[in-house]
A and B are shown apart, each in its own frame.
Chain A
């Protein structure tokens, strides 16, 4: 079974390095958007942690903010860690992790497509499942489908 890491100790180590940007929660580490690439890079490259596999990236819309969830897996140590990033809804921008894990590319494009969160530094920030020129981002809670709502 994947072992649970002591999130508090990792958070302490990260705080030493990067300042007050990391907060340990019971299930995940909460990270500020600006510090995300540094912390992800630290988790990926530090011997002993070796989170070399980006399992999943996704987002959720909480009407007042977006929350992004990153799940990192260390295949070597069989451990899992979840990072959470909050960002405002009006100018949603998050640094991209596609430079660290190419596996993030398509998933970040999908989040951009469906939530409208743009990832700075992503090599190919375009819509992925919807077509070019589609208006709006469907998974936002305030999304209204034009044709659908016009009928009602």
Chain B
């Protein structure tokens, strides 16, 4: 079997060694980046949400409580690893890994800086959407195998949510692919002389909402829904396996904010500062918005969430695709700062008009 499809299209010229060295170094780097960001993001989440909630947050372990997450990790690793007697043991074991590995795999195609990426495959967008869906299977497996009714309900919700929100998300990405006439991630970034958030605001809105649902963040955290399902799919997990599921959750948040910054905020591109710094800034900004939403908005009910996906986001994504298609055919060169207000205006009009049909509840739809 050939590994040629994994070969990066562009490797920075001063990169040491050959393909295998590249693979090794980048893999280690990406895992390290993910782990460090997860730990920092957990700390960030706890501190930021604490500020939102008029309290202080963890501030005892280390300066500003920076070591809190490490303390938590140590605590969680020393916990007893309990497997319910009637659980489906093989599935129960494999589920956390099944959920976590795909998140790691997404990172393989993300450029952290100019050329700093494991593999610039030419179907990057498709790869990301395909791989990210596997996480849901892992979560479904964990819920299914726990032999707990709360977990089961959580698992069913996860699948329903994935199926519903994957479609608008992909349609939103299709607009990007059309505009950048490339499916590779570096191609998408290369096309963003103006970030896509400004030239395709509609796709941006749809993507962010769908992404929140994909990574199970409020207002779409129905999978965990602590007030209804105690902890949803991970109710029965403890010890190391729970740690991995927890890691998955935050890795999804990290990768989610990387995806937002890569697809819509121009990735590593930016003036003056090195690429990786720009990416970190954009990641933090995206994550901050996720936290902001988490700490202010109540949770949707499952039917309302489905309704939002099918009746609101899907048409909006279609609109965006349509606008992009028209633009690509009739005015391919129209990508300058002057057009941005026009795009924003169109988006505002469509969203405001469409919101009249979208009262996400008031009456419920059957599921």
Whether the complex brings A and B within 8 Å at their CB atoms is answered no
**B interface residues (Cβ-Cβ under 8 A, vs A):** none
